[in-house]
Amino acid sequence: MRRRRFLIPFSIFLVSLAALERADASNDHFVVLGPSVGFATGGDLETAALLSVDLSYAFMTSEPARSFIPNIKHLFWLSGGCRFLFQEEHIYLPYVEVGGWWILNLGVGYTAAVNGPEALGDHFFHAFVGAPLPVPLLFEKIPLLVEPYYRPAFGERVLHEAGLLIKYAAEI
């Protein structure tokens, strides 16, 4: 049963990749990779340290969108990764997310809990709110982002987490 939980996020990831492949070839495309550190609490668990690895595919619209912010291009992304929660037993939390960057980074996702205790549900949906900050002064030629984030989950026996992502972006 635990192996089946991987099928849902993996399937969502593959379907989303196929949909993104149909994006206009004139768009700007990026791969973004990075770790995060933070803490998580909820589901009758004590607050615990959390580490993760995140891989994202992002594309920017080729034309400025009609929105409340004039002359801005929109950036959409698809992300997947695994979070490691340090409890008495290590808990693995693979996830997939989809979202966009509109001043704040906003998204929704799905998490599966592997090796989780009864106090934590097997899987849950979550939101993502981040504030990506470019770091051009420190690394002039390396596109690096530092992103404080909050990832609240929905339902009973779920985790809420906050932390800091450090991401390297490469245009493809």
Among 3.40.47.10, 3.90.1150.10, 2.40.160.20, 1.20.120.330, what is the CATH number of 4-171?
2.40.160.20
109 forms bridges with which residues in the sheet?
Answer: 97, 126
Contact (Cβ atoms closer than 8 angstroms) between residue 31 and residue 24: no
Q: What is the mean pLDDT of each run of 10 residues along the chain (172 residues)?
A: 48 41 54 93 82 92 55 80 86 93 89 78 90 69 83 88 90 82
Contact (Cβ atoms closer than 8 angstroms) between residue 125 and residue 93: no
How many CB atoms are located within 10 Å of the residue 2 CB? 11
pLDDT score at 49: 92
At 125, which amino acid appears? F
The pTM of the full predicted model, rounded to 2 decimals, is 0.76
CA distance 171 to 71: 22
Alpha carbon 148 to its chain's center: 12
